[in-house]
A and B are shown apart, each in its own frame.
Chain A
């Protein structure tokens, strides 16, 4: 059974997994893993191309064309509003999309987004017609501000990029979900294993963006398939309605008409 399709800035998607294209041991491993993930959106980036790198760059371009996925370029490695905006503009031209995964980092130790610069860059890019996917922290007020600016999608972190620590602050993520019910929310970064993704999906998150957890698995293709199934399962569970937790035990087998000697106070 497949979870219901969803919309991202007006584009209907069936897979709720966005997957990165970095860190794979070879181009073929990347292709196999992305296909196994069933992802319809892949993240990409851009850099200066040296003549010696032209062949590998062309190969990468051809590979991502063959995948026939929606491209979500990022502004990875940008530490200022100016850099991020400039990179976004170049990405729009190069990849011919107005989607941008907006990263404006504030700290090189944990790669934490700079919330103030992120808001400023978002404001500029939305005014220029971009569909912004901000990579943000799990701060509710920041998320509200980004939503007020016109973001239809927010991507708070589960944990710092590449740490695989899962959801460090599920309470904060759940609060964002509850307070911003109309927004499309993805957990981006920090997902280490499929159960982390299930946890986020059961909280009501619409999707997951990950890269390292698949690319650095011993068997990336198998792990990609595991994530695809986990994310679908988590969404199905959310749509089915998870039972509330109780303090007291409640028997699942009916107790009516039990022999008196089996009944306990």
Chain B
């Protein structure tokens, strides 16, 4: 039985361990600093719930940050 699941992070297929949370995703190879926003399946995830928000097969995770705009 595989111990990983596939999710989509910023449009890219990404393999993470079963039981991963938003917090573990962010602390892994995707080291995020500064101001950003996490959205899972179109729902905004508040920072305080990163450790308890578990990722499931096929979840779409978007990590949004500020850019210039007109």
Binding site for B on A (CB under 8 A): 20-24, 30, 43-51, 53-54, 57-58, 60-62, 64, 73-74, 76, 86, 89-90, 93-95, 161, 211-212
A51: B residues at CB distance < 8 A: 29-32
Contact string against A for B residues 31-70, beta-carbon threshold 8 Å, 1 for contact and 0 otherwise: 1111111010010100000000000000000111111111
Cross-chain contact of B67 among A24, A60, A62, A90 (Cβ < 8 A): A60
* A90 & B64 in contact (Cβ 8 Å cutoff): yes
Q: A20-B69, A23-B68, A93-B44 are in contact. List 4 more A-B contacts (CB 8 A).
A: A44-B66, A49-B36, A49-B63, A161-B70
14 A-B pairs (CB sep. < 8 Å) = A21-B70, A46-B64, A46-B65, A47-B64, A49-B63, A54-B33, A54-B34, A57-B36, A58-B34, A60-B67, A90-B39, A90-B44, A94-B37, A95-B66
* A86 & B11 in contact (Cβ 8 Å cutoff): no
* B10 & A22 in contact (Cβ 8 Å cutoff): no
Instruction: Say which size band chain B's interface belongs to.
Output: 20 to 34
Cross-chain contact of B70 among A49, A74, A90, A95 (Cβ < 8 A): A74
Cross-chain contact of A22 among B34, B39, B68 (Cβ < 8 A): B68
Cross-chain contact of A89 among B10, B44, B62, B68 (Cβ < 8 A): B44
Which A-chain residue is minimally distant from B42 (CB atoms)? Answer: A86
* A43 & B69 in contact (Cβ 8 Å cutoff): yes
Which A-chain residue is minimally distant from B66 (CB atoms)? Answer: A61
B30: A residues at CB distance < 8 A: 51
